[in-house]
Structure 1
Amino acid sequence: MAQERLQKILAHHGVASRRKAEELIKAGRVTVNGKVARIGQKADPLRDEILLDGKPLPPPPEPLYFLLYKPYGVITSVKDPQGRPTVMDFFRGIKQRLFPVGRLDWDSEGLVLLTNDGELAYRLTHPKFQVPRSYLVKVKGHPDPKVLKKVSEGGLPLQDGPSPKMEVKVVGRTARSTWLHLTLREGRNRVIRRTFELIGHPVRKLRRVAYGPLTLEGLRPGQLRPLTEAEIKELKKWVKLPV
């Protein structure tokens, strides 16, 4: 078997997502042939002895894929040190290890994909693959069309760099607020909320309604379902994985 990056091997064995696997390597918890591993190192899992915390890696698990309609007030994390509800509370009957793909803020609701397929999770969240995420967002007030055009073009000054480009469509108005349909192709932390705070129209509600080809159709908050074979194949096509 050809050599692969360690974080990819760890993800394939269901130990962690590729990003979390990098943290394990940085923490010195992974060794290859008796030596502490380093970021960027490659190995052959059939020839090299790869240990995590001194123990061999588990065999690659059966891949699982679930779609969850995350309610408000739930953390998108495997665990929370403060003891708050997490998305994993909805999967207590499943023994295999799962992890959420990307983030959705505790004060947002909507579509979250959970899997143990580390390579797919990595590609879905990597900017290189430009996977679209769509949101239904309620903002305070009535943004001027010229301002919304600037939002769509991106480049507004945020603390961590320019705001990303996003497709913006007005889908409704009330006396004091505006409903928008937004589509982005990157997932920076609270970037929608920070962008609209910057232009003076803070977000009041946010719901992720689609991730790539997946939608919330047929689900209510707190409900989940496994992905169909067709959906799994479609997701893999989006990120150029073999099906």
Structure 2
Amino acid sequence: MTVPPQRTKKRPVPRPRSGRSTVPPKQQNGNGGSQRIAKLLARAGVASRREVERMIAEGRIALHGETLTTPATLLDDLSGVTVDGKPVRPAASTRLFRFYKPAGTITAERDPRGRPTIYDRLPAGLPRLMPVGRLDFTTEGLLLLTNDGELKRQLELPRSGVVRTYRARAFGHVTQDQLERLAEGITIDGIHYGSINANLERRTGRNCWIEMSLTEGKNREVRRVLAHLGLQVSRLIRVAYGPLTLEGLEPCAVDEADGSELDALRRSIR
């Protein structure tokens, strides 16, 4: 790899049908069969749990023709569930893809400002995929894509502890000692960033390449931390997400992770 790089009249609450319950989860039996609809729809790749909750609030999701009003609805499966009037397909097997997101693209389906999105750069023929987390407009590198909303959620939770590794090209002066102190965590403008493993790779004049590994992935974390150290980032590349790396990918290229890679990623979740 080369990387220099959405007033309707309220309806009475219907009695639960088979497979449906309005009883809170803790009152269910312990067989683990019933799950919240948001989780099931996320697992089926419809949207993330949070987005499913918004869709329910907008009246877009129904069960056997009746519009659902609460994300606490419990189901055994997705039989009879529709989204925008269309039946939901059963969950497909989990698939995971590596994508080299190029700089100058938005990690979203559309942008109100008309900027290009990752979906404008993805090749045709792929299944419906959701990005795991985000890379900002000017950041490039490894972006994971999956059809499994539950896996996406697990990976995005801060407590997952999955390590993300970046390489930054920056202008300015910094020492290895300064970078090593980031391992203790740092608070900037009232925001605390946890431990970061940072190493000065090489320096050419006042330009340098720095490798940084972190687990939180807060918004613009790498750029803010380096700016606090007096550095101006001119290029930022994510080179690894857990055990998956950017190796072998060129900008806009995508490939599918095999079963062993998916298993390794799952094992990296705390």
Q: TM-score range by the shorter chain?
A: 0.7 to 0.9
Q: Which residue of 1 aligns with 2:95?
A: 64
The partner residue of 2:44 within 6, 10, 13 is: 13
Q: 1:27, CA displacement in angstroms? A: 4.0
Structure 2 Cα separation of the partners of residues 64 and 57 of structure 1: 18
Query: Structure 1: which amino acid aligns with 2:70?
Result: R
Counterpart of 1:218 in structure 2 is 248
> Following TM superposition, by how much is the alpha carbon of 1:76 offset from its aligned partner in structure 2, in angstroms?
1.6
1:38 aligned onto 2:70: yes
Greater Cα shift, 114-123 or 41-50? 41-50
Q: Distance in 1 between matches of 2:176 and 2:75?
A: 55
Determine if the alignment matches structure 1 residue 229 to structure 2 residue 256.
no
Assess if the C-alpha contact under 8 Å between 1:71 and 1:222 holds in 2. yes
| C-alpha displacement of 1:56 | 3.6
Structure 1 stretches of 5 or more lacking a match?
A: none
Counterparts in 2 of 1:87 and 1:5: CA distance versus 1, 3 Å = same
1:72: Cα distance to partner? 1.2
- Show the 5 A alignment for 1:138-177: 138-158=169-189, 161-177=191-207
1:134 aligns with 2:165: yes
Which residue number in structure 2 is paired with residue 86 of structure 1? 117
What is the Cα deviation at residue 231 of structure 1?
A: 0.8
**Percent identity between the two aligned chains:** 38
- Supply the distance in 2 between the matched residues of 1:133 and 1:158 (Cα, whole angstroms): 23
Cα 1:200–1:69, aligned 2, differ >3 Å: closer, same or farther? same
Is contact 1:78-1:99 (8 Å) kept? no
Q: Distance in 2 between the 1:199 and 1:47 partners?
A: 51
Q: Distance in 1 between matches of 2:116 and 2:109?
A: 10
| Matched letter for residue 147 of structure 1 | Q
What is the aligned partner in structure 2 of residue 192 from structure 1?
A: 222
Amino acid corresponding to residue 37 of structure 1 in structure 2: T
SS at match of 1:172: strand
Give the unaligned 5+ runs of structure 2.
Answer: 1-31
1:149–1:25 Cα change, 3 Å? farther
1:106 paired residue among 124, 137, 141: 137
Length-normalised TM-score, structure 1? 0.86
Q: Which amino acid aligns with 2:158?
A: P
Contact conserved, 1:140 with 1:177, CA < 8 A, in 2? yes
After superposition, the Cα gap between the structure-2 partners of 1:31 and 1:154, relative to the gap in structure 1 and judged at 3 Å, is farther
Q: In 1, Cα distance between the equivalents of 2:83 and 2:185?
A: 42
TM-score, length basis structure 2:
0.78
Structure showing greater Rg: 2
Distance 1:115 1:184, change over 3 A: same
Match of 1:217, SS?
Answer: coil
Distance apart, 1:102 and its partner CA: 0.6
Q: Please give the secondary structure, in 2, of the residue aligned with 1:156.
A: strand
Post-superposition Cα deviations, 1:59-84, rounded to whole Å, max 9, x if no partner, equal 22343321111111122222223332
- Preserved contact between residue 122 and residue 254 of structure 2 (Cα < 8 Å): no
Structure 1 94/200 Cα, relative in aligned 2: closer, same or farther at 3 Å? same
Give the length in aligned residue pairs.
238
Aligned equivalents of 1:61 and 1:94: distance in 2?
Answer: 16
Distance 1:126 1:217 in 2: 25
What's the offset of the Cα at 1:7? 2.0
